[in-house]
Amino acid sequence: MSRSSKTLLLLTVLCSAGLSSAASAASYYVDAVKGDDRFSGTSQDQPWKSIARIRDYPLQPGDRVLLAPGSVWKEPLTITRSGTANAPIVIAPAGDGPRPRIEAGGVSPHAVAVMNAEYVTVSGLEITNDAPSPGPRYGVLISAQDRGVTRGIRVNDLYIHDVRGTNDRKDNGGIIFSATGQRLATRFHDLRIERNIIWRVDRSGIAGISDRVTSLNWFPSEGVVIRDNYVEDVGGDGIVPRGTDGTLIEHNIVRQAGSRAAGYNAGIWQWSTDNSLIQLNEAAYTRTRYDGQGFDSDFNSRRTTILYNYSHDNAGGFLLICSPRPNDKDNLGNRGTVARFNVSRNDGSRIFQLSGNVSDALVERNVVHVGKGLDVQMVVATQWDGWARDVTFRDNIFKVAGTARYGSETGRNGPDYLIKAGFDPVSFLRFQGNSYLGSHVDRPEGEAAQPPQPFMEQPSDWEVPVFDPARPEGFSDFLVRHRSWMLTMLQRELNATVELKQARQTSFFDRRRISTLGPDGQGRPRDQAATSDASSFRKNGAPARLF
């Protein structure tokens, strides 16, 4: 048999296996009122009663678990079985009516969990995890540990609220996806978190966790999409992916982040990522001034793009770009951030903050509105184990009805920075072609010679669509109205057509190096999951690059 014939036979066998799995799939019904765990569960007349049956039952690819509308369970829903690409396991409502509701009530750390499973879809549920006192808790936990690449998980159309986590830790809250593995490098591939409502949770709204985030130990999740989610009243951070490459964070609405957690919090940001694309999001009413910006490009990251976003009424400002001192172990700094075509309105404290070792950043063609009576630092450089270098502000429009100031840190007063005119010791900080309307104090050298231009705010449509998370039934309509309003507002303010981008991942030749060290720091063979990627660096004798 020829090689091509063998390949065709193998593909036929694999496709037949996938079709066979889908053809043999079953539907299982669960009803908290009419069910009985002694029933077969395979019809609506014979439903199971408890969702514990789902955890214990050997679900197969293509199986559907259908929960009765209006049923309430005071126990966690745990999925540990995997589907396939063509036949995922699906958890969903059995029909129209009130959402099936999981009320964990603190009896479990998670209300819903996908544990070491792939090709699973969970949708259409209402989820709470309240308790008398705070503790590490999750609305939804997506966890992969020591299992290599975990694929094809979908979490969508969930109504998650009242999760009483602890604000002492960032790794709990509404939806947490965690990829860890001391024995086997682990990551997610093609993970989608879309169209969820997350309301009144502690500490994080949507957050990613990874233990393979350093230059010596890099195994990022890929194909992560966080889109069309509404996040309101969060103890700490709104949306934070970690340990990812090419993540898309698109058209999410985050309001009232930083409501309860001490320490530093922001609306939407990333950490230890490559090529994050953050576009068409609204971040508003972040309450803290310890950071407290609507958006943040954080450290150990490369090529973060912040594009076509709307930031408003955030206590800490619009955009933080930050990094402590880089090293060859766990921080390569913050390199190549681009903030372009964004609109900021009535943000407080610090509109643009360059904190620490930021390099090769570009801030261009953004429009900033500073309201009457506001006194803000428009561009401020602050120290964090060093200072920024090689940053360009170009063709931005600063419309100031209040007062805007420029300078570098001389000290702190709680969450606020004391500044002086000028940006020493920042190096290679350039201002080119920016427009300064209204009152600007200590404008940057080179542009300060421009004559002052008076400014008075003109009436415009700033009535961004609102949504009441206590009434989730109107969510789909809200998303449509909100996206339309965003596009119209951006085109008006930027005087340009909005052209959204596609997320991209790092090429094989530009990836960070994957370590061969075990948890004890001793040499060992590469994990199976890491080997396939690491070997790509060695094609044609090309060495891996360390960043």
Residue 516 lies in a domain: yes
| DSSP SS3 for 484 | helix
Residue 533 lies in a domain: yes
Residue 529 lies in a domain: yes
Question: Letter for the amino acid at 402?
Answer: G
pLDDT value of position 13: 43
Instruction: Read off the DSSP letter of residue 214.
Output: E
pLDDT value of position 86: 98
Residue 372 lies in a domain: no
DSSP one-letter string for 66-126: EEPTT-EESS-EEE-----SSS-EEEEESSSSSPPEEE-TTSSSEEEEEES--SEEEES-E
Contacts of 541 (CB under 8 A, 6+ apart): none
pLDDT value of position 543: 27
HSE of 411 in the Cβ direction (CA atoms, 13 Å)? 1
Name the phi and psi angles at 22, rounded to 5.
-65, -40
* Full pLDDT tens readout for the chain, 547 residues: 544 444 444 444 444 445 555 557 999 999 999 999 999 999 999 999 999 999 989 999 999 999 999 999 999 999 999 999 999 999 999 999 999 999 999 999 999 999 999 999 999 999 999 999 999 999 999 999 999 999 999 999 999 999 999 999 999 999 999 999 999 999 999 999 999 999 999 999 999 999 999 988 999 999 999 999 999 999 999 999 999 999 999 999 999 999 999 999 999 999 999 999 999 999 999 999 999 999 999 999 999 999 999 999 999 999 999 999 999 889 999 999 999 999 999 999 999 999 999 999 999 999 999 999 999 999 999 999 999 999 999 999 999 999 999 999 999 999 999 999 999 999 999 999 999 999 999 999 877 667 778 888 889 999 999 999 999 999 999 999 999 999 999 999 999 999 999 999 998 878 886 443 333 333 333 333 332 332 222 222 222 222 2
**Tally of domains in the chain:** 1
Question: What letters, b where the CB count within 10 A reaches 16 and e where it falls short, cover 455-491?
Answer: bebeeeeeebbebebeebeebeebbeebbebbbebbe
Run of H or E residues at 233: strand 230-234
Residue 528 lies in a domain: yes
Residue 524 lies in a domain: yes
Residue 369 lies in a domain: no
Structure tokens at 432: 């080119």
Structural domain including 529 reads 511-541
Instruction: Read off the DSSP letter of residue 540.
Output: G
Name residue 205's beta-bridge partners: none
pLDDT value of position 23: 59
Residue 530 lies in a domain: yes
Contacts of 508 (CB under 8 A, 6+ apart): 533, 536, 537, 539
Specify burial of residue 50 (Cβ count, 10 A radius: 0-12, 13-18, 19+). middle
- Residues 333, 299 contacting (CB under 8 angstroms): yes
Question: Which of 266, 197, 267, 258 shows the shortest CA–CA distance to 228?
Answer: 197
DSSP one-letter string for 133-181: S--S-EEEEEEEESSSEEEEEEEES-EEEEE---TT-SS-EEEEEEEE-
pLDDT value of position 24: 79
pLDDT value of position 492: 98
CA–CA separation, 282 and 249 (whole Å): 11
- Residues 363, 396 contacting (CB under 8 angstroms): yes
CA–CA separation, 472 and 112 (whole Å): 19
> What digits encode the pLDDT tens for the residues 471-490?
999 999 999 999 999 999 99
Backbone CA torsion sign across 162, 165, 168, 172: negative
Please state, rounded to an integer, the average pLDDT across all residues of the chain: 90
